[in-house]
Structure formats: C-alpha cells, structure tokens
Structure 1
Amino acid sequence: MESETALPKWASKPCIMGIDEAGRGPVLGPMVYGCLYCARSYQKTLSTLKFADSKTLKEEKREELFENLKADESIGWAVDVIDPRELSSKMLKKNKINLNEISHDSAMGLIRKVLSIGILLTEVTRDRALRDWVLDETAANMHTTFGSGYPGDPQTKAWLEDHKHSIFGFPTLVRFSWGTCTSYSKDMVEVLWETDDADEDGSDGRTGKRQLKLTNVGFTPVKRKSEETESSGKGRCKFFQARKLELLSHF
C-alpha cells in the first residue's frame, strides 16, 4: 500500500475504490476484505491490466499480478484480515453480530482508512453500481435512495421499510432470501399457493395438489412448462409478467 507519509501525486485528484472479499464461505481460515483505489483518470488503464476473479486464475498468475500491483505507483490498496476466532466470537456471543454486519464494518473500515490518509475518494465502485441501478418495478412512489445496501445502514433500513409490499414482498433489487429481510415480513399477508406436485415415487405420472405456505414472502413455486405458457400473456404490467401473475375474475 502507498506509504501514509508519502502520498502519490494523484491522491488529491478524484479517486475511485473497489472493495471485494475472500473467504466468506469456508469453514477454515480468516475472511479477508480488500480494496484497491486509483485516480478516476486511471480507470481505463486499470481495465487493461488483466486482473480478474481470483477463482479463474492459477496461483502463479495471481502471484504475478500481485507483484505487478505492488510495483504500480498509480494504484493503492489495503486489506482487512478478520481472524477466524474473531468471526466465531462475534457470531456466537450473547448479542450476536452476524456476518453481514461484520462485512459491513470491515468495508466501512477500509473506506475510513483510505480517506484518513488523504486520498480524495469520490466513488466506491459497488456504490456506483447500486446508485445507477435501474429498478424493474415502476411504481410511482419508488425511489433510489438506498444508502450503501448494507443491513446496518439507517438509509438502507428505511428504504426496505418504505418498499416492502404486504403480498409481493420486496422489489427485485432486494436479496429477499437473506435473514435480514425476516424482520420486515412480520406485517405481511400469509399467502397459500396451490401447485401441482408429482407423486413422491413418480411411478404413475399422476399429479396431486398441495398447499405451499410462503413464510418468506416473495418466493413463487416453480411452474410447469404448460403453466408458464398459460401465464405469459402479453400486455400485462411488467411487474406481474416477471412473477407469472395474472388477473382472475373468479375463483
């Protein structure tokens, strides 16, 4: 990382930063958050340096790129290594701190660290993607003041509260399968869906009916091909088309 006592010349120009993590899923080892930052004017050059998802690179190539990164004076970087003991103690303590909160704190810590050494940080690439996100839904009262998107962000919490729907759950931007969303669903309507379900042994091809209770509002049962054809009518609102919903005049 660039020395804190000798800032690069480009530090006073508008800079961008990207944040990523490694080791969120494994049962062994630390979780590591890392950031890379550079002048916004260097972004096009950065895209030509052949950096890629580490999973797609061999170890030798990763090491080579790391050496190139350290030698490149137009780039700064920092990491936050979260010890497995810290992860375990936070997630198992009486007042549990979940992985999302730990991740949020790590990312925010990196941002604060880079700002504190004097880098004129004007954009973080994930924030930019979120800021420019085009919502599939078109309701007039929807807005894009998301905040950071992390569960601890008051602005994100307010956005989730404002945009939950008592039947349909959340807009498609939301990772509604995450436990973070559970607390927002307490006032939602309980919905029972009837769906075709093949016999367990599948021997005679007959179908029975069963009720699906959607405790996590927003999930829809997988439909058979014939159902998809029947419910793909044109001219309906995009919101309903995307969810294979149609208007019924009687039951």
Structure 2
Amino acid sequence: MESQRDFACIAGTRVVSQLRKEEEWIREPCILGVDEAGRGPVLGTMVYASAFCPLNTDISGRGYADSKTLTHEARGKLFRAIDADHGVGWVAHIMSAQHISHHMLGRDKISLNSLAFDATCCVIRTALENGANVKQIYVDTVGDADRHRERLSRAFPGIEFTVCPKADSLYPIVSAASIVAKVIRDQSLMDCQQSLKLQGEVGTGYPGDAATVVWLKDHIHPVLGFPPLVRHSWETCARLLEPPEAVSIKFEADEAADGDAANGPAQQRLNFARPGGAGLVESSGLGRHTFFRARKLQRVTEAF
C-alpha cells in the first residue's frame, strides 16, 4: 500500500487516514494509541499517527511492536495488514520540514513540543469527528508524562488517558500507531525527495548519519541555504551554513524598540484615529531604516 500512495508533504501539513466510518464497531467503545516518527531527523517530515479499534478486541497476538525494533520489510508488511484490517482504523498527521522550520524560526516562535501536541490532538480529533467512540487513549511521551496527560485531558474531557514513555512497547495499539507513523514517515521522505527532484542518498535523515551529512553538504546553496526537504531550524544546518560552505550575510535590523540617543526616538506606531475619534495620525517613521521611512511602511502586527 505504501508503494501505491504518495505521502509527500513539501509545505504545510496534511492528514491521511483509514477511518472505517462504514463499520459498525466504530460506534462501540474503542481504544486509541498515538505515537510519532521523525521527531529528531534534520531531513523530511515529522509524522504523528493514531490507531484505534474496539475496546474488546484482543490485538496482542498480531505482531505489533515498537517500529524501531522491526525491519523495514516487517514494518511494511504490518502496515499493509493494518491498512487492510476492517477492524482497525488509523489517522496520520504529516508535518513538512518547511512547516517545522517556519514555526520554530518565526517571529512568534513555536517549539517542537507545541507542534507535537497540536499534531497529537489532530490525530485524536480526526478519529472522534469521524465517529470513533473512543473511551481510552494511550500515548507515547518524550517529556513530562503527567503534564502531557493533564493537557490532553483538558483538551478531550471524558476520555481516559494513559501517557508514559515506551508506550509503543507496552501497548499493542500504540505499537500499531508507531508502525503507521514510521512507514509513512519513511515513504514521505522518499516521496518528498522525488517531488523536489533531489538526487543522492539521504540516509536516515538524522544528523548523526554520515550519509545524511554528506547529502546536506552536497545540497548547500551558498546564499539560499538548503532545499525545502531540510529543517533549517536544526543546529546542524546552522553550523553547515557558516563560511566557507555558505556566504555570511548581515541584514540591516530595525532600531531598538525604545530608540537611543544616537538614533533618536523610536518610530511611532500607526493609529487610525486619535483618542475620541478625532481624525487620523500618520506614523513619522523615526528610528526606522530609510527604506521603510521613505515608503511609510509599517509592520502589520503593529498597524492593527
């Protein structure tokens, strides 16, 4: 199945699923597991996945295990079995490298943990909104398990959460989610590379993989950096973008918000009306670079 479906995600995010909405069991009490793949790599997508099935179904004998303990062939075979099993549903949230970098490096920075929490909520919510009567949820965690459980319980009141490290080894439903996430992540990396027409062996995508580091060095543009397959927010990229591999660029920054004696007062913010509604006030632009002052340009977030 993974060879027939394109899981490329170059920008933004996408959700793929096998929801089993037509099955009767989906309205019975269900359990759901959540796990991720691709949190640490410098290349490609990060994938969060959920798998769910009836609460009274015993799936312990199906060979589901932590995806990291399985071979590539075994994971593929199990994924095809999960996807074809009318008694199991799954949801995957694919997050592009560009999406991760944009939020981690943006003006209003969002941490990887926050992105991961939103993805976890997405794969749970998608199952719920499509009819799954989920009563118990098991989640693999990297950080503080108690804090993670409390946040999820607030987001989904009435559902019992079990959050713990190594959940993908302890609970078969989390193992199933782990397999879905890992297979889609691996296929997504290849699909993204093909879509972007990028050549070369990317390796596992982890910073410690020699093949990945070689690929990164071979794909540095001295001014524009790396292609969209790469997470620019990783420290690995910052180190590689230093001279002589890349050109050092210095951008003219805005003056400090409060101004200083040498540069004069800070720029006044644009107001559309004086207090009491008496007319418009034009920004002076003092304290800003001449490019912005000459064009009377203002940051959107400060203008509204």
Give the number of the structure with larger relative contact order, counting CA–CA contacts within 8 Å between residues 6 or more apart: 2
For normalisation by structure 1, the TM-score amounts to 0.50
TM-score by length of 2: 0.41
